[in-house]
C-alpha cells in the first residue's frame, strides 16, 4: 500500500506500507541516491514473517516531491517525525542505510527518540562520511567534491560509477541497470544537495551520545563508501550498541548478504 504524507505545506513524501497489521513495525530510511526500493529484498521477506515494513522516499528522491531546498539532516529528520506522527507509530524499530542512517541518528537526537524502541544502522554515514581533522576515517573532501561536480556535469555517468563501488561481488547487468534507474529517479539538485551536506558541518558525534535505545550496527567490511572504521566509531559512540561485521559485503550489504541481513535484523528485534 502506497500513499503520500505532507511534511511541509507544499511538500509530500511517498510512503510504502507493507503488512500494516504486522506484529512489529520497522521504518526504513534509504541511502543516497536511491529510494525505498533499495530494500526490496527485505520487503519481499520480512512481511511474510509478520513484520510491518514502512519505506519512506526522502524528499527529492524516489516518488516523493522534489523541492529545491530542505536537504540538511535537520529538515530530513523533521520529515521523518511528520511521517511517524501521521502514522501514529509507537515502539517501532528505526532502520537507516548510509545517509538514511545519518538521518536516523539525527532524528534520535533532535526528536528525543520519539516513538523509537530500537535503532538499526546499516552501513551508516555516521559519525561523518568525510575525513576531518579530528576524524581520520571516511572519504576525502576531494572525492565528494568530484561527486558533486559530476552530478552537475554528467549525472548518469556519476551514478554508474557509484553503482560500480556499491556492491562487493559481481552483480548482473540487469541488476546494475535496476540500481542505476533508482538513482535516476532522484532530482539532480537533490542528489547534489545531499552530497553537499556531507562536506559541511553535518557530523553526528554529539548526536550519537544521546541515543539510549538498543542499537544494532550492520556493516560490510569491504564498504568503499562508508568505510568500516565508521562502524567501529558508531559502536564506541553509541551506548548499548552491537556491531555485526559482514565479511562478504560492501556498501549494499542488504543485497550482498541479504539472508544474513534479514536474519540479524529479526533476531535483534526479538531480543
SS3 122: strand
Residue 207 among the catalytic residues: no
Residue 98 among the catalytic residues: yes
| CA atoms of 118 and 141, how far apart (whole Å) | 32
Instruction: State the CB neighbour count (10 A cutoff) for residue 32.
Output: 25
| CA atoms of 126 and 103, how far apart (whole Å) | 9
Which residue, 40, 54, 51, 108, is CA-closest to 266?
51
Which residue, 143, 84, 63, 120, is CA-closest to 261?
120
The three three-digit cell numbers of residue 183, written as one number: 538513482
Identified catalytic residue from 35, 64, 77, 98:
98
The span from the first CA to the last CA of the chain, in angstroms, equals 29
Which residue, 129, 14, 29, is CA-closest to 76?
29
Identified catalytic residue from 24, 36, 219, 251:
251
Identified catalytic residue from 37, 79, 223, 256:
223
Residue 251 among the catalytic residues: yes
List, by residue number, the catalytic residues: 98, 223, 251
Amino acid at each position: 500500500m502506497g500513499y503520500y504524507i505532507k511534511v511541509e505545506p507544499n511538500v509530500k513524501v511517498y510512503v510504502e506500507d507493507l503488512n500494516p497489521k504486522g506484529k512489529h513495525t520497522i521504518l526504513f530510511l534509504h541511502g543516497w541516491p536511491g529510494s525505498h526500493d533499495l530494500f526490496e529484498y527485505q520487503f519481499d521477506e520480512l512481511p511474510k514473517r509478520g513484520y510491518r515494513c514502512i519505506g519512506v522516499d526522502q524528499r527529492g528522491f524516489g516518488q516523493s516531491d522534489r523541492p529545491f531546498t530542505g536537504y540538511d539532516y535537520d529538515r530530513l529528520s523533521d520529515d521523518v517525525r511528520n511521517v511517524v506522527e501521521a502514522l501514529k507509530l509507537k515502539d517501532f524499530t528505526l532502520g537507516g542505510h548510509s545517509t538514511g542512517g545519518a538521518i536516523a541518528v539525527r532524528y534520535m537526537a533532535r526528536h528525543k527518540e520519539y516513538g523509537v524502541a530500537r535503532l538499526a544502522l546499516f552501513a551508516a554515514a555516521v559519525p561523518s562520511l568525510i575525513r576531518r581533522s579530528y576524524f581520520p576515517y571516511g572519504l576525502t573532501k576531494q572525492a565528494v567534491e568530484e561527486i558533486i561536480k559530476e552530478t552537475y556535469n554528467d549525472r548518469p555517468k556519476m551514478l554508474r560509477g557509484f553503482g560500480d563501488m556499491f556492491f562487493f561481488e559481481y552483480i548482473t547487468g540487469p541488476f546494475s541497470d535496476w540500481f542505476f534507474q533508482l538513482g535516476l529517479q532522484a532530482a539532480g539538485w537533490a542528489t547534489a544537495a545531499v552530497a553537499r551536506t556531507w562536506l559541511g558541518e553535518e557530523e553526528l558525534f554529539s548526536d550519537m551520545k544521546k541515543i539510549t535505545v538498543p542499537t544494532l550496527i550492520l556493516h560490510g567490511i569491504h564498504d568503499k563508501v562508508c568505510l568500516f572504521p565508521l562502524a567501529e566509531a558508531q559502536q564506541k559512540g553509541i551506548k548499548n550498541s552491537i556491531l555485526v561485521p559482514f565479511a562478504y559485503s560492501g556498501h549494499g550489504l542488504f543485497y550482498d548478504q541479504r539472508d544474513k541481513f534479514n536474519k540479524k535484523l529479526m533476531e535483534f528485534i526479538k531480543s
